[in-house]
Amino acid sequence: MASNDHAATANDGGDLAEHESTYAAFVALTEVTVALLLCIVLCLVIWTLEGHGFVALVGVIVAFVAASLGAAADYGWRAVAPVFVLLGLAAIVLN
């Protein structure tokens, strides 16, 4: 018969601290990813405006750099927010 010696029990504390830190990292990465995707959508809007492909390319590069630095320095989505605002203003002005 199979042995069930390694089954988790209700009294087993597990590794709750590690689980919570992994969850916090997952949430932070999800926030940065959503902010980056919103910036990419704005860059696609700018790209469709006639003759503004270079602005969109620069916007994508700056958004990726901001997302990378925000994720590495624990700023999260706050590092991408200024880029999002500037891209939104560029989309309005260039329209």
What confidence category does residue 51 fall into, taking pLDDT thresholds of 50, 70 and 90? confident
Q: How far apart are CA 88 and CA 62, in angstroms?
A: 14
Domain count for the chain, please give it: 1
Residue 45 belongs to domain spanning: 37-94
Tell me, yes or no, whether 21 lies in a domain. Answer: no
In the chain, which ranges are continuous DSSP H helix?
Answer: 16-48, 53-72, 81-94
Tell me, yes or no, whether 81 lies in a domain. Answer: yes
Asked if residue 25 has pLDDT above 80, the reply is: yes
Tell me, yes or no, whether 52 lies in a domain. Answer: yes
Tell me, yes or no, whether 45 lies in a domain. Answer: yes
pTM for the model: 0.80
Q: What is the pLDDT of residues 68-86, one digit of tens each?
A: 999 999 899 999 999 999 9
Tell me, yes or no, whether 71 lies in a domain. Answer: yes
At 15 the pLDDT is 82
Tell me, yes or no, whether 31 lies in a domain. Answer: no
For the chain, the first-to-last Cα distance in angstroms comes to 72
Asked if residue 13 has pLDDT above 70, the reply is: no
